[in-house]
Structure 1
Amino acid sequence: MSIVSGPRLGRRRLLQSSLLIPALAAPPLISARGETPVKIGMVDPLTGILSALAASEVEGAKYAVDLINKSGGILGRPVQLLVEDSANDVGTGVQKTHKLIERDKVDVIFGDVNSGIAYAMSQVTTAAKVLHIVPGGHTDPITGTDCKWNVFRICNTTSMDASAVTGDLIKRFGKKFYFITPDYAYGHTLQDAFVKNLKAVGGEFQAAVLPINTTEFSATLIQAKAYKPNVLLNNMGGLAQIDCMKQFVQFGMQKEMALGGALFELESIKAVPKEAQAGTWAMEWWWDQPNVPEVAKFVADFRKAAGKTPSARHWFGFTAVHSVRLAAAKAKAVDSVKMATAMEGLELPPDIALQPGKIVYRAGDHQLMSNIFVGDAHPPGKGGPDDVFTVSAVVPGEKAAGSVEQTGCKMVHPA
């Protein structure tokens, strides 16, 4: 599947939420003045259990492309977004990355929601010397032990999310945890981070590590019930997390233990019954920030254009496209090496950062140092159907991330 966005497409088409549409032709895009487009290739799981999260990332990227093209493009050139479906499969994601680079000749690659795919893609992009932004793949090595000169990440590492929320969970509920964790890169590094924090205070745990596409959790929940934890941490993602939450409340387990974890995203909270709209979590961006005027404008504009409230995933895609624009402007070129150099230490302006503080791509590991919004999920409140999370603390990214040395990143730049 290939979805193309460019200045010849109207806002309605650019913001279609359905991704199951026929492939659109992708001819060379030439503006009235004859400039060739800046091509961005995006690989995400448009089908499969993570498709709702991927759809939001793509929508956010398309929204940014539309705005940038209406404002003159990148260095005066139109922007073209080519989207490919990884189908939540590593081999397919790698194949689509090769296609975008070798056949479509993209200037930049985005992806993937699935951390394992994002990591595999980075091997391809580094070999091809193409700038690679990971909007929403969290596993630590991407900007840690396997960091690369051309790879930058917008979402947090799993260690950042776990660090931000663990203390709150322990303080409020206790230090006996039961983990339900997906068996792939994201799940493993997330559970490891939680366990490290838990052991530091003498906590204990049991864990069930399950296939990423698990739909039946009865046996696992029975084991969790028998363990009698203070907190059940649901580390699954997408549809698997939703299924687990539904079965958790069907068993009545919300009356016996607290619920929480790293991520319970807006798309997922809205997809579960109100009894499961609960727990203490970390949000990587949140739409309701009363003291940040740029956020209010962004949310209003996005709602008008897309007919929905933006989630963290929308912000990831939006920020990825604007990061390319900012890097190209700073580098005065659409060149991977020059843009990568420009992105090191790049601070996002307030209308892109959309949160308080100094939001910077850290030079040492290329991880975006953004805030983490810790709080509680709940049924919709007075703010409408998307008022399903209340922030109790904003944790600076630098505090949650620790030092570059602690990540294990040893950046090597091209000669």
Structure 2
Amino acid sequence: MPLQIFHPKFDRRTLIKGAAALGAFQMASPFIIQARGETPIRIGMVDPLTGVYAAPAGNEVMGAKLAVEQMNAKGGILGRQVELLVEDSANDVGTGVQKARKLIERDQVNFMIGDVNSGIAAAIAQVTAEKKILHIVSGGHTDSITGKDCKWNVFRVCNTTRMEANSVSSVLFSKYGKKWHFITPDYAFGHTLYDACTDDLKKLGGTVTGNELTPLGTTDFSAYLIKARSANPDVLILLVQGSDMINCLKQVVQFGLDKQIHVAGTQQELESLAALPPEARIGIWMFEWYWKQPGVPGVDKFVADIRKVNNGNVPTARHWFGYTSAMTFALVANQAKTTDAIKLAGALENFELPDDVKLQPNKVYYRKGDHQLMTSAFVGEAQSKGKDDPEDLFRVDEVVPGDKTAPAVSETGCTIQWPA
């Protein structure tokens, strides 16, 4: 299919009906933000724009598009304008790898972003390391990406699953109880998140009553919920995401399970809460970024900028992931005055994000040793409806720095091997 070209200014006609609320969208694959000028810098992005993660993936792309528009308005990267080339991984590892190779080998991208799906992100990392392309994993959480399978060229913006679990486990244990039952997506992300949660639970003195492994794209959770209810836990921990989270929480409420068992989890997303009926917006969770942060520099402007291109809706953590991933390339390349991947990877170690990109109160930096962004966890409780703003669906009780939730580099299993 021939490339479709889009200019840096957002064109609403390019947005096709999305998979959920808050501006999620599907697009013909591939598509480009076209920049003026010769020999532009090219950022490739692979994300699942169709399927169970279409909503968060679409919002990551929207955030990256905003970053490209802003960096071009300020002179681009090293005086060259920037293009964003996006491909749909379709939530399939083979497709994701094929699209990454196409972007690198045919389209000659300088940098790579992606994927929401942890398994795809890990597979793409193999390709980018082989091709010596600087790669930022925007939204794939499984620990191994910046753990035992870490690579010199790969950095990650979103939290690890261990960071997610560490941010909220003690709160869930103290407020809800010590017997936990899990509903877990059956792939890399779910497995490592479950391991992190159960490790924390054991340290706290709790027990696991069971773990229901569910395929991605599950629509009927009734069998899993019946098993969970019969196990009689204190807490039902939902680790599913995307449309699976929406379907699961709806059915939890339909079955009245929330009246018998506390329902909560680790990572929650505004895309999911917004798509739920008010009665299903329940539980204690962690957000990886939240849009309502009074007095924090830069947040109000970012919210206003996203509203302009998102049908008036506020940004989600996924918008911030995409925005930060793309903006990181411009920040480090303009500082180091090079596009050489090895030099930039070295420059990114312990690189601290400025206020207008980090958009949160704590220090945010790419940690030397494992290349994980030390970003905060926003811990709190879902709200059935917003009080001052209808989109304020989460009450933030605590913002925990990444340095407190992340294990030490020595505990991650990461050993960076640099090219000769």
Please give the residue correspondences for 1:215-364 in structure 2 after superposition, counting only pairs within 5 Å: 215-306=219-310, 307-364=312-369
User: Residue 9 and residue 30 in structure 1: after superposition, are their counterparts in 2 closer, same or farther (change >3 A)?
Assistant: closer
Across the two proteins, how many residue pairs are aligned to each other? 411
Structure 1 residue 5, shift from structure 2 partner: 6.5
Please give the residue correspondences for 1:8-407 in structure 2 after superposition, counting only pairs within 5 Å: 8-13=7-12, 16=15, 18=17, 19-22=25-28, 31-32=36-37, 35-205=38-208, 206-306=210-310, 307-407=312-412
User: Residue 316 and residue 24 in structure 1: after superposition, are their counterparts in 2 closer, same or farther (change >3 A)?
Assistant: closer
User: Residue 382 and residue 141 in structure 1: after superposition, are their counterparts in 2 closer, same or farther (change >3 A)?
Assistant: same
Q: Give the Cα separation in 2 of the matches to 1:30 and 1:80.
A: 6
**5+ residue gaps in structure 1?**
none
Q: Give the Cα separation in 2 of the matches to 1:193 and 1:251.
A: 28
Give the percent of matched residue pairs that are identical in Structure 1 and Structure 2.
53
Structure 1 residue 72, shift from structure 2 partner: 1.1
Structure 1 residue 16, shift from structure 2 partner: 3.5
The alignment's TM-score, normalised by the length of structure 1, stands at: 0.95
For residues 335-364 of structure 1, the C-alpha deviation after alignment (integer angstroms, 9 at most, x for no partner) is 211111111111000000000121100011
- Partner letter of residue 381 of structure 2? D
**5+ residue gaps in structure 2?**
18-24
User: Residue 252 and residue 116 in structure 1: after superposition, are their counterparts in 2 closer, same or farther (change >3 A)?
Assistant: same
- Partner letter of residue 229 of structure 2? K
Q: Give the Cα separation in 1 of the matches to 2:29 and 2:409.
A: 42
Structure 1 residue 26, shift from structure 2 partner: 6.2
Structure 1 residue 273, shift from structure 2 partner: 1.2
Say if 2:291 and 2:316, in contact at 8 Å, map to a contact too: yes
The alignment's TM-score, normalised by the length of structure 2, stands at: 0.94
| Displacement over 6 Å in runs of 4+ | 1-6, 24-27
* Deviates most, 303-312 or 45-54: 303-312
Q: Give the Cα separation in 2 of the matches to 1:78 and 1:378.
A: 42
Q: Give the Cα separation in 2 of the matches to 1:186 and 1:152.
A: 17
Structure 1 residue 382, shift from structure 2 partner: 1.6
Say if 1:5 and 1:14, in contact at 8 Å, map to a contact too: no
Q: Give the Cα separation in 2 of the matches to 1:73 and 1:14.
A: 25
Q: Give the Cα separation in 1 of the matches to 2:309 and 2:58.
A: 16
Q: Give the Cα separation in 2 of the matches to 1:262 and 1:3.
A: 39
Q: Give the Cα separation in 2 of the matches to 1:304 and 1:44.
A: 23
Q: Give the Cα separation in 2 of the matches to 1:30 and 1:278.
A: 44
Say if 1:30 and 1:36, in contact at 8 Å, map to a contact too: no
Say if 1:3 and 1:82, in contact at 8 Å, map to a contact too: no
Say if 2:128 and 2:134, in contact at 8 Å, map to a contact too: yes
Say if 2:177 and 2:234, in contact at 8 Å, map to a contact too: yes
Structure 1 residue 309, shift from structure 2 partner: 0.3
Q: Give the Cα separation in 2 of the matches to 1:31 and 1:258.
A: 54
Structure 1 residue 98, shift from structure 2 partner: 0.6
Say if 2:164 and 2:266, in contact at 8 Å, map to a contact too: yes
Say if 1:283 and 1:374, in contact at 8 Å, map to a contact too: yes
* Deviates most, 329-338 or 315-324: 329-338
